[in-house]
């Protein structure tokens, strides 16, 4: 708060006038003397001091209301993000969904059951996202990062995960039929009870992959897989997988 100074009253004009040596400066000094009297009167006017206190109090009230309404603002932000996602449901393209999904996930909002079929989500970052029973069928998620996310029972048919980071993702009971996982990092991922029929796993990193309960590997392409767990390749080929060099390689 600004400190108020209580001024002393200016000397009488008759005294000030005698100090002036040049007549042409009289109007200037008269105006100055007049301003000094105004400043003196205002400095002793309690009403102005009250206004200053009210102004400071108003700022305090505004700050209190700002923080009190923070929860409502956050809810409004989440509502708008969901509106973007739902409005674009079933449509191709991005439609602002990448930003909306990342924003919701950053705030810890579950994305369970979200429908993103056919969406263009290339490069999206959804680390640790809760995406169980989500629908990413035919979605483009190339170069994305979904590390440590939960995607059990997700529909990932024909989705493009090429060169994506899928480390430690829980894919239990997910459907990867005809999905593109070429060059993806699946290290530590859980593929228990998943269907990989027709999926392209060529060049994928399979280090520490949980694979023994995979439900379907028929026609899955495992050409050039890296760091495959012991016994995986033999099991996959026995289960109908193939090793075919793709055009991209």
Tell me if 165 is assigned to some domain: yes
- Is the domain of 44 the same as that of 104? no
Tell me if 214 is assigned to some domain: yes
184: tokens are 């993806």
- Is the domain of 141 the same as that of 52? no
Tell me if 134 is assigned to some domain: yes
Give residue 46's pLDDT: 59
Tell me if 25 is assigned to some domain: yes
Domain that holds residue 139: 94-249
- Is the domain of 49 the same as that of 98? no
Q: State the helix-helix crossing angle for 70-87 and 46-68, rounded to 10 degrees.
A: 40
Give residue 212's pLDDT: 92
- Is the domain of 50 the same as that of 134? no
- Is the domain of 169 the same as that of 101? yes
What are the DSSP calls for 193-242, one per residue? T-B-TT-B-TT-B-TT-B-TT--B-TT-B-TT-BSPPTTHHHHHHHTT-B
Distance (Å, rounded) from C-alpha 109 to C-alpha 120?
21
Rounded to 5 degrees, φ, ψ at 135 are -120, 105
43: tokens are 């400095």
Tell me if 80 is assigned to some domain: no
- Is the domain of 60 the same as that of 119? no
Cβ(184)–Cβ(207) below 8 Å = no
CATH of the domain at 108: 2.160.20
- Is the domain of 177 the same as that of 63? no
Total domains in the fold of the chain: 2
* Cα angle 189, 238, 243; round to 5: 70
Give residue 68's pLDDT: 57
Tell me if 5 is assigned to some domain: no
161: tokens are 């995960």
Which parts of the chain sit beneath pLDDT 70? 1-7, 13-20, 25-26, 29, 37, 40-71, 246-249
Distance (Å, rounded) from C-alpha 60 to C-alpha 65?
9
- Is the domain of 60 the same as that of 106? no
Tell me if 8 is assigned to some domain: no
Give residue 35's pLDDT: 76
- Is the domain of 62 the same as that of 112? no
- Is the domain of 22 the same as that of 116? no
- Is the domain of 202 the same as that of 103? yes
Cβ neighbours of residue 14 closer than 8 Å, sequence gap 6 or more: none
Tell me if 223 is assigned to some domain: yes
Distance between terminal CA atoms of the chain?
A: 70
Tens-place pLDDT, residues 103-159: 999 999 999 999 999 999 999 999 999 999 999 999 999 999 999 999 999 999 999
- Is the domain of 122 the same as that of 201? yes
């Amino acid at each position: 708060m600004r400190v108020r100074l209580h001024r002393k009253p200016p000397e009488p004009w008759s005294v000030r006038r005698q100090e002036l040596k040049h007549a042409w400066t009289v109007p200037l000094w008269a105006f100055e003397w007049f301003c000094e009297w105004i400043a003196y009167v205002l400095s002793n006017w309690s009403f102005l001091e009250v206004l200053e206190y009210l102004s400071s109090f108003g700022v305090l009230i505004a700050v209190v209301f700002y923080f009190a309404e923070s929860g409502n603002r956050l809810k409004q932000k989440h509502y708008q993000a969901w509106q973007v996602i739902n409005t674009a449901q079933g449509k191709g393209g991005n439609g602002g969904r990448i930003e909306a999904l990342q924003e919701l996930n950053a705030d810890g909002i579950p994305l369970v059951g979200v429908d993103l079929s056919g969406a263009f989500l290339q490069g999206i970052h959804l680390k640790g996202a809760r995406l169980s029973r989500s629908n990413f069928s035919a979605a483009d998620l190339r170069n994305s990062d979904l590390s440590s996310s939960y995607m059990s029972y997700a529909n990932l048919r024909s989705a493009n995960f090429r060169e994506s980071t899928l480390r430690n993702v829980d894919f239990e009971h997910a459907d990867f039929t005809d999905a593109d996982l070429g060059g993806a990092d699946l290290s530590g991922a859980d593929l228990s009870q998943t269907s990989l029929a027709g999926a392209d796993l060529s060049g994928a990193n399979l280090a520490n992959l949980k694979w023994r309960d995979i439900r379907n590997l028929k026609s899955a392409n495992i050409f050039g897989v890296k760091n495959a767990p012991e016994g995986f390749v033999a099991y996959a080929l026995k289960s109908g997988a193939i090793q075919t060099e793709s055009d991209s390689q």
